[in-house]
Structure 1
Amino acid sequence: MEVIELNNISKVLNNYLGSLGIADEYTKFFLSAFWILFTLVVIWLINTLVKRFILSFAERVIRRTKSKYDDLLIKRHVLKRLVNIIPAMFIYYMLSVIFQPFPDLHIVALLQKVVSSTILLIILWSLSALLGVVNDIYNTFPYSKDRPIRGVIQIIEIAASFITGLVIVSILFEIDITKIVTGLGATAAVLLLVFKDTILGFVAGIQLSANKMVSAGDWITMPSYKADGTVLDITLNTVKVQNWDQTITTIPTYKLVEDSFINWKGMEHSGGRRIKRSINIDVASVKFCTAEMIERFKKIRLLKNYIIQKEEELLEYNAQKEGESISESLANGRRLTNIGVFRRYLQEYLAEHPMINKDMIYMVRQLQPTEKGQPIEIYAFSKNQEWVSYETIQADIFDHVLAVVGEFELRIYQLPSGADLHNTGKSIATL
């Protein structure tokens, strides 16, 4: 049905109303009211036909297909948004007919511009949903975690919104779009200032993706923002991190490139989580092993073979030292020390521990002595990387270390407490 045909219908209705004796000034309002009512009825019929039948049929067909990707069109409501163009186009078509009895109003052109702008906004709205579908499809691939495109999608949305805005302004005010773009050149500095974070975020997003620095699901630590937890989402402007206390930290995307942060992904992929903790041995308790101590150490299963082997090695070495009396001084020859045997025990203990990853380095080492004693450090990797399990494994190891150290006649160094000083004062007073 063309506009000319509808205008002919208007003439027929006008003549009919005139034959009924209705004045011309009222006939105009009757005609406009008729076409408004006609437009509303047709729009209702269109919505019913398209959304209840055609769109519903299309969704059933999509759900029955083998591909899961087209189901995202339904999930993101792409088709539901797009079909809104049909009633908008019909309204655009009917405006000239509705206001044809009032040629002096000059309102048709303005309303058509508004409807045209609305159609562009519907297209933009549908495009946003379609870009969401593209992002969802991309996220189904395994490499999407390392190279997210969420930031790129947002840039496309911003660019599309900007272009749509320019076109709408051009339509509403009848300005050549090239003149608008030229005028924007003068305000480029202001735009750069306003969209500074967006531009920096876009560049940072490319760097983060290209260099595989961080992706959703990674555990990161960024002390400057008090962030320590799992990355939930990476957008154009922000990175959301859920901390271990369930709080959410929001970090500007470009700050991940500008500042330093720790990504624990390497640890998670390595198959082990590092245990690096030391205890301080009181230096005054370190001494050479006596024969009685050596016999006692032989009864410890983890040390039996080591003690026997070491005794043979030391006897052979000391026998070669002619002219030296081994018995005259402990400094002559080589001897076992309780701290050395203790280190060997811990090494064997780690080698037998079921939760220590033997494919990664593990050792017991001495650190530089300090005023707080001689540090003995355990360096190993637990098989279980989950936080609670890791802490339990680490605690179990050091529970055993603290309990067994007395078997080697060693003492753990600790600063005197108030009770120690109080007891010392009592002892002095007694004397």
Structure 2
Amino acid sequence: MDLKKELIDIICFFEDFFLSQGMNAVLAQYLNLLINLFLLTALVLGVNYVIKHFIIEGFKLFTNKTKTTLDDFLIKSNFPRYVGRFVPLYIIYQLFPLIFIDFPEVLEIFYFLVNIYIIILLIWIFRSIIRSTRNYLKTREEFNDKPLESFSQVIMIFIWTIGLMFIFSEITGIDIRGFIISLGAASAVILLIFKDTILGFVASIQVSVNDIVRIGDWISFEKFGADGTVTEINLATVRVQNWDNTYTTIPTYSLISDSFQNWRGMQESPGRRIKRSIYIKQNTVKFLTKEEIDNLKKIGLIASYLETREAEIDKYNESNNVDKSILINGRNQTNLGIFRKYVDSYLQAHSAVHKEMYMIVRHLAPTPNGIPLEILCFSRDKRWENFEYISADIFDHIIAAIPYFDLKLFESPSGDDIRELAQKAHEN
């Protein structure tokens, strides 16, 4: 009690000083209030600085020395920062009422806001603990097949529900037990009237907790014809600006109930995937003679490969006394195999292709339209217009290179092809 009296005397110091100088009482009171608010703000900022740069950083140093990873996940989820906010909050809670002791209306608003903030802060702390625990358990082999995401979602929905109940109780002044009883009695009517709102509310929590969609994400949602950037997320709808500058509105709960494509992973990755196939006519694939291989050695990208490969094959055939009077005997090189190696070397040398990501040139199963040769790589530039330019540049070159290997692209006959064939048949 004595400490409180001493604090009040300190807080009233400037007011007493101004009054002793003959200042108006009301003016002295308000000037004293402003000075105390300034000093309180400076004190809180100073304490917050100390907590942030010493206590929290000290906690980080401590976690770096421990063997467990749970504390590392707590750092990533801002757990120390949330807990540290209680210290300046406690200072404000103790000093603010003394500063505004003559303003009961302000104190009533202050206590209301502080209680709301404490509830929200506790929710954040629980959310941090749940996320950290979930991410830690994901690193444990025995939990790899457990639905940790679902468990954490259910717990977070439960925590948010309880938190919102307490917030509603603070706003309305209704006792929490009475609020729960009245809510249970009216639940059937509430579910019927606010079905879409409740679905949107639950979906919004899940979208937020699981970080499914953010504002600025590029999503494709075929069901609703959406393909563009998310510009707004609210309780009932998600607004998407399509690439033709039109807007599509999607129910929020559809993000949970339906499947859509989020391109955020591509935007955050080092490169953007190029995956496309060209179809080679099967009857143009053949074994190559020595003369044909010597001719292909003039192509710089595969010259050294052909030299090494030819020496290996010749050594094998000689050691096994292979009869090479017939080309099929022993080991041989094919024009398609060499072309595949050429495409791989071309991608390795291309400056716009990301060399540290997947790069594959492979055959797929033959089809009635020919042999698919699939090219899978990643462009360094992820911007759409540049990505399309890079893709076109790569396949322009590959298609133009095909005839040099005595291969042909499969192409369905056009009307001109049929007429030309009929004309030749008529002439003969």
| Deviation (angstroms), 1:301 | 0.8
Match of 2:323 in 1: 325
Match of 1:417 in 2: 414
Is 2:331 the partner of 1:358? no
Q: SS of the residue aligned with 2:385?
A: helix
| Deviation (angstroms), 1:182 | 8.1
Name the aligned partner's letter for residue 214 of structure 1.
Answer: V
Q: 1:367 to 1:180 in 2, by over 3 A?
A: closer
Using the alignment, how far apart are the partners of 1:198 and 1:183 within structure 2? 20
Q: Deviations over 1:211-239 (max 9, x none)?
A: 11111111111111111111111111111
Identity %: 47
Match of 1:288 in 2: 287
Match of 2:315 in 1: 316
Q: Deviations over 1:120-150 (max 9, x none)?
A: xxx9xxx9xx99xx9xxx9xxxxxxxxxxxx
Using the alignment, how far apart are the partners of 1:331 and 1:213 within structure 2? 56
Q: 1:299 to 1:182 in 2, by over 3 A?
A: closer
Using the alignment, how far apart are the partners of 1:297 and 1:307 within structure 2? 8
Q: Deviations over 1:46-72 (max 9, x none)?
A: xxxxxxxx9xxx9xxx9xx999xxxxx
Q: SS of the residue aligned with 1:356?
A: coil
Q: SS of the residue aligned with 1:251?
A: strand
Q: SS of the residue aligned with 2:301?
A: coil
Using the alignment, how far apart are the partners of 2:185 and 2:226 within structure 1? 40
Aligned CA RMSD, in angstroms, stands at 3.8
Q: 1:207 to 1:423 in 2, by over 3 A?
A: same
Q: 1:399 to 1:181 in 2, by over 3 A?
A: closer
Match of 1:223 in 2: 222
Using the alignment, how far apart are the partners of 2:397 and 2:241 within structure 1? 34
| Deviation (angstroms), 1:190 | 2.7
How many residues are matched?
Answer: 286
Using the alignment, how far apart are the partners of 1:292 and 1:326 within structure 2? 14
Match of 1:378 in 2: 375
* Higher radius of gyration, 1 or 2: 1
1:79-90 alignment, distance < 5 Å: none
Using the alignment, how far apart are the partners of 1:292 and 1:247 within structure 2? 60
1:259-270 alignment, distance < 5 Å: 259-270=258-269
Name the aligned partner's letter for residue 395 of structure 1.
Answer: A
User: Which of these residues, 339, 343, 347, is aligned with residue 342 of structure 1?
Assistant: 339
Q: SS of the residue aligned with 1:240?
A: strand
Match of 2:15 in 1: none
Moved over 6 A (4+): 178-185
Is 2:425 the partner of 1:428? yes
| Deviation (angstroms), 1:303 | 0.8
Match of 1:394 in 2: 391
2:273–2:377 Cα contact (<8 Å) kept? yes
* TM, length-normalised to structure 2: 0.59
Using the alignment, how far apart are the partners of 2:210 and 2:181 within structure 1? 37
Match of 1:407 in 2: 404
* TM, length-normalised to structure 1: 0.59
Using the alignment, how far apart are the partners of 2:207 and 2:179 within structure 1? 35
| Deviation (angstroms), 1:260 | 1.2
| Deviation (angstroms), 1:364 | 0.6
| Deviation (angstroms), 1:372 | 0.5
| Deviation (angstroms), 1:284 | 1.0
Q: Deviations over 1:272-321 (max 9, x none)?
A: 11111000001111111123321221111101100110111011010011
Q: Deviations over 1:31-84 (max 9, x none)?
A: xxxxxxxxxxxxxxxxxxxxxxx9xxx9xxx9xx999xxxxxxxxxxxxxxxxx
Name the aligned partner's letter for residue 286 of structure 1.
Answer: V
Using the alignment, how far apart are the partners of 1:309 and 1:179 within structure 2? 85
| Deviation (angstroms), 1:337 | 0.8
2:352–2:381 Cα contact (<8 Å) kept? yes
Name the aligned partner's letter for residue 391 of structure 2.
Answer: Q
Name the aligned partner's letter for residue 324 of structure 2.
Answer: I
| Deviation (angstroms), 1:185 | 6.3
| Deviation (angstroms), 1:181 | 10
Q: SS of the residue aligned with 1:423?
A: helix
User: Which of these residues, 364, 371, 378, is aligned with residue 367 of structure 1?
Assistant: 364
2:289–2:327 Cα contact (<8 Å) kept? no
Using the alignment, how far apart are the partners of 1:208 and 1:343 within structure 2? 44
1:12-411 alignment, distance < 5 Å: 187-322=186-321, 324-327=322-325, 329-411=326-408
2:274–2:376 Cα contact (<8 Å) kept? yes
| Deviation (angstroms), 1:189 | 2.3
Q: Where in structure 2 are there 5+ consecutive unaligned residues?
A: 1-29, 46-108, 125-159
Using the alignment, how far apart are the partners of 2:279 and 2:369 within structure 1? 7
Using the alignment, how far apart are the partners of 2:412 and 2:182 within structure 1? 74
Name the aligned partner's letter for residue 378 of structure 1.
Answer: I
Match of 2:5 in 1: none
Q: SS of the residue aligned with 1:215?
A: coil
Using the alignment, how far apart are the partners of 1:179 and 1:391 within structure 2? 62
Q: Deviations over 1:301-345 (max 9, x none)?
A: 1011001101110110100112x3211x11111111111110000
Q: 1:294 to 1:277 in 2, by over 3 A?
A: same
